[in-house]
Amino acid sequence: MSKHQDSKLRPLQRFRNRWSTQRIIIVVVAILGVGVMLYPTAASWFSDRVHATDISGYVDSVENLSPSAQKTLLDEARLFNKELPSGPLRDPYSLNENGEKMVVGAGSDAYKKMLDVGPGGMMGRLSIPSIHSDLPIFHGTDDETLSKGAGHLFGSGLPVGGTGTHSVLTAHSGFVNATLFDDLDQVREGDVFSITVLGESFYYKVDQIKTVLPEETDDLRKVQDKDYVTLVTCTPTGVNSHRLLVRGERVDAPAAGSSQTLPSQALDPGFPWWALALLGTAVLIVAATHPRKARPKPTTPDPKPAGDEDLADSLLR
């Protein structure tokens, strides 16, 4: 074998010595295990980032509209609410005998056009300060919509306020890829949440929290002389046998600086610390599995023969 070929094989041999098959398997399995544990946190971070982007895009779209155009859209939505029938609403998650949702996901074409100024059919923004939730609101309650944010239940009032209106907003809880209404069960009576549509903010104080069966929808009906918004999600998480209803009644805007005030900008999900945790874990695993070089044993000089020492002594004399 030539010296050139030998020089090429030496780095490969060193790599094989350092990275045995067993070591590679240990490192890969350990990193995958940590990745699985961090996945919910990472997925939630990415979802929050998308929500913040959607909300920022919505704010920009509204700002590009003239005040008269904004007023026209709000007036159309309020007229739409007045013409809504007062019949019972259906549970947004119930399925028929064919396994299909009983509620039409996006509703009529006229409904789809209402308040449609944001990206992807976004109609507004829902903020629940007590649980640090800030979600875009979309038309309908189909699966695609509910994977992106809060969905407006078709047949309920559009979320633009007004006496005798009752808007119903729903979102998943326990959704693997996003934190939506996961913490809705931590909302308490007296908490205030807000909805922003076309630059106008509407505030609602929680006055009723109920857990009901899917077919029990009487609490979603319109009530004369009341301005309600109800937030709906499935409960218990993973079982989804019941519905959690968190109802708010319209109140005046809280004082400036209050913890219940709607933030002017979309909530930033912050720095992805989970990425540092994954990187740090990977470094530690690689370091822990790195093969250690054996220390060379100390060598002692061989003793000289006795005859040589006697000869040297005799010469010196």
CA nearest 149: which of 74, 271, 49? 49
4 tagged catalytic: no
Q: Give dist(CA 125, CA 160) in Å, integer.
A: 11
Q: Which residues pair with 151 in a beta bridge?
A: 138, 170
Q: One of 51, 234, 242, 290 is an active-site residue; which one?
A: 234
How many of the other CB atoms lie within 10 Å of CB of 301? 5
**Residue in 51, 132, 172, 290 annotated catalytic:** 172
Cα–Cα nearest to 206, from 179, 222, 184, 225: 184
Structure tokens at 309: 């020492």
Could you give the C-alpha distances from 199 to 47, 69, 136, 194, in angstroms and in order?
A: 24, 12, 14, 12
Of the candidates 148, 116, 131, the one whose C-alpha atom is nearest the C-alpha of residue 187 is 131
Token representation of residue 106: 């996006």
Is 310 exposed, middle or buried (CB count within 10 Å of its CB: 0-12, 13-18, 19+)?
exposed
Q: Is 139 considered catalytic here?
A: no
Catalytic residue list: 172, 234
